[in-house]
Amino acid sequence: QQQVKQSPQSLIVQKGGISIINCAYENTAFDYFPWYQQFPGKGPALLIAIRPDVSEKKEGRFTISFNKSAKQFSLHIMDSQPGDSATYFCAATGGSQGNLIFGKGTKLSVKP
């Protein structure tokens, strides 16, 4: 019940395309869902986050869609750029958890 399942494991997108990464969770007590972006040799950087009282949050080219009934959330990267090539992690926390539960990550490659 503590898992966060992330897919796909890897993703190749053409420049200008839309990158979509999906995550699913089981624990209904989770109430905070961040996405992190990690470049090689760096720590994860908080990209965007959502709480379950809204179904969508947009910041620039990055959008989180949240489906509370399905216990799923996804990251959409519009107009993907080669500089977006990185590993993306979804995460969740809430209830008795203080720490984040991470998905396994998606390695995104944006081809020029």
Partner 1 sequence: SAVISQKPSRDICQRGTSLTIQCQVDSQVTMMFWYRQQPGQSLTLIATANQGSEATYESGFVIDKFPISRPNLTFSTLTVSNMSPEDSSIYLCSVEVGTSRGPQHFGDGTRLSIL
Q: Which is nearer to partner 1, 17 or 109 (CB)?
A: 109
Binding site for partner 1 (CB under 8 A): 31-32, 34, 36, 41-46, 49, 89, 93-94, 98-100, 102-105
Distance (Å, whole) CA 93 – CA 2? 9
* CB of 83 or CB of 98, closer to partner 1: 98
**Closest CB to partner 1 among residues 16, 60:** 60
Considering beta carbons, is residue 42 or 83 the nearer one to partner 1? 42
- What minimum distance in Å lies between the beta carbon of 48 and partner 1? 10
Structure-token match 């947009």, residue found: 58
DSSP 88-110: EEEEEEETT--SPEE---EEEEE
Helices then strands (H, E): number in the chain? Answer: 0, 11
Least spacing, CB of residue 44 vs partner 1, in Å: 5
Residue 77 neighbours by CB distance under 10 Å: 24
As a whole number of angstroms, the distance between CA 80 and CA 62 comes to: 10
Q: How far is the CB of 72 from partner 1 (least distance, A)?
A: 18
